[in-house]
Amino acid sequence: MTATRESEVRVGLVYPELLGTYGDRGNAVVLVQRLRRRGIPATLVEVAAGSMIPASLDVYLLGGGEDNPQSAAAEGMRASAANIEQARAAGAVVFAVCAGLQNIGTTYETGHGEQIDGLGLIDAVTVAGTDRLIGEVVVEPDAPLPLLTGFENHAGRTRLGAGTEPLGRVRVGGGNGDGVDGVLGDRILGTYLHGPVLPRNPALADFLLEWVVGPLPALASPLEEQLRARRLHVALAGPVGRFRERLHLARG
């Protein structure tokens, strides 16, 4: 069975020069390829830093970055806020990772005390903590999804406002810093999971795509599932599992 769609899906990678520190470009590639493998036309659209973000995209991907690039990206996003709102009103999806998650909230305060205004797409405030949260993460989603695996490296502590739902509960790692990770709303999903997260979690990629194109036929993903199982095993095994993995990699 092959899904059909009258027009191609435009997957937008927003400001990759600023929000591409942790390989989150891979998320855009996965979305495009999983559509194409089902016979659905799709294209990756890169929105260069300093340019207006168009209202014509179906998916807006916002990746991770350090404080200065994040601040520059936030300025460009605010200048394009009307276009993003227009796209969302037409059914577009926003997927935001780490700095991207912080930038779709209301404010982010850096470790130097600078306050960055976000897009305000979600009710969330982030403040830089005194230490960084680094390592493997396992999240048990509130959505109908399997356990999610990823890697985090951030200082931000994100507090969701009343009525704003997280992506899920943290089984391993830090996430938002209060036992949950990310945010899950109306065609908007944010997380602290890198990896990149979508190559690690094909079900999450399809979850996002179904917001755009509707129900999708099953797609065999044996290599992706092997990767997911391996990362879950290592993370859930705790320090001993991670030590064994490092030993195995050192031996080749």
- Mind listing the pLDDT tens digit for each residue in 13-70? 999 999 998 899 999 999 999 999 999 999 999 999 999 999 999 999 999 988 889 9
Which pLDDT band, with edges at 50, 70 and 90, does 244 fall under? low
Which pLDDT band, with edges at 50, 70 and 90, does 245 fall under? low
**Pairwise pLDDT comparison (213 vs 66), residue with the higher score:** 213
- Whole-angstrom CA distances from 158 to 161, 193, 200 are 10, 14, 23
- Average pLDDT along the chain: 92
The span from the CA of 128 to the CA of 126, in Å, is 7
The DSSP code sequence of 8-41 is -EEEEEE-TTTS-TTSTHHHHHHHHHHHHTTT--
At residue 22, the pLDDT reads 87
Q: What is the mean pLDDT of residues 140-158?
A: 95
The span from the CA of 149 to the CA of 201, in Å, is 7
At residue 249, the pLDDT reads 43
The span from the CA of 5 to the CA of 67, in Å, is 39
Other C-beta atoms lying within 10 Å of the C-beta of residue 178: 13
Which pLDDT band, with edges at 50, 70 and 90, does 113 fall under? confident
Which pLDDT band, with edges at 50, 70 and 90, does 248 fall under? very low
Q: 155-207 pLDDT, tens per residue?
A: 999 999 999 999 999 999 999 999 999 999 999 999 999 999 999 999 999 99
**Residue 182 main-chain phi, psi, to 5 deg:** 65, -155
Q: Which residues are catalytic?
A: 98, 194
The CATH number of domain 9-219 is 1.25.60.10: no
User: Does the pLDDT of residue 225 top 60, yes or no?
Assistant: yes
The span from the CA of 144 to the CA of 3, in Å, is 21
Which sign does the torsion angle of CA 164, 168, 171, 177 carry? negative
User: Does the pLDDT of residue 1 top 50, yes or no?
Assistant: no
Which pLDDT band, with edges at 50, 70 and 90, does 238 fall under? confident
